[in-house]
Amino acid sequence: MLPVESSAGPPAMPYPAGALKALLRAPLLLYRLGLGDLLNAIHIMVLVTRGRKSGQPRYTPIEYRRHGSKIYLVSGWGARPQWYKNLLDDPLAAVQMGSRLRSVRAQIVTDPAEALRALYLFRRTAPSRYDAVLSFVIESSVNARTLPNLSGQFTIVRLDLTPDEPPLPGISGSLAWLGPLLLVGGVGLAALVIASGRRKSEG
């Protein structure tokens, strides 16, 4: 069981519910449709934790950044998310990055220097966008100058990749739906071409 040592304060963002919650979980559908590799290209993976009450796999789409064998997650809602609580109860988990499932061991980041390095991994591709998001999370102005003094206010989890077999199953994705879709699209296009040809001949 992980020690609860995060120094982050209460999250500033309202906890997702209703339509927002459904929107945040939408990437799971795309993974099931076999589009996981596309999402992984923009750093969206599926975190697989063990439900602390049910013992069943729980799937959470989440943005990540990787540095070598370390994967970093930033919680926008402090210690409140279920995936975070599940990792506290059982740090052995799995991550599905595209079509690949890997085993990981979770650790809460309590060192401000490591937290700062993790936050820089997120903001380096689009500093202004991530500064705005991070500012919203802790209700403080975040930028390159202020971030070193604020890094300890974020709830960050490090997932260390291990060589073990994944302790939990991933999501089975399939592109089987693509064939019928292309077939229907092709038939529709052919019908339009034929109809267009008839109109021209009648004109």
Band (139; pLDDT cuts 50, 70, 90): confident
Give residue 167's region: left, alpha or beta (phi > 0; psi -120 to 50): alpha
**pTM of the entire predicted model:** 0.80
Band (10; pLDDT cuts 50, 70, 90): very low
The mean pLDDT value of the chain amounts to 86
Exposed, middle or buried by CB within 10 Å (0-12, 13-18, 19+), for 48?
Answer: buried
**pLDDT digits 0-9 by tens, 21-61:** 888 889 999 999 989 999 999 999 999 999 999 999 999 99
Q: What distance in Å separates the CA atoms of residue 126 and residue 60, rounded to the nearest whole number?
A: 24
Token reading at 162: 């291990």
Superfamily per CATH, domain 18-172: Electron Transport, Fmn-binding Protein; Chain A (2.30.110.10)
If you ran DSSP here, which 8-state letter would residue 97 be given?
E
Q: What distance in Å separates the CA atoms of residue 66 and residue 60, rounded to the nearest whole number?
A: 17
Band (103; pLDDT cuts 50, 70, 90): very high
Alpha-carbon torsion (20, 21, 26, 29), positive or negative: negative
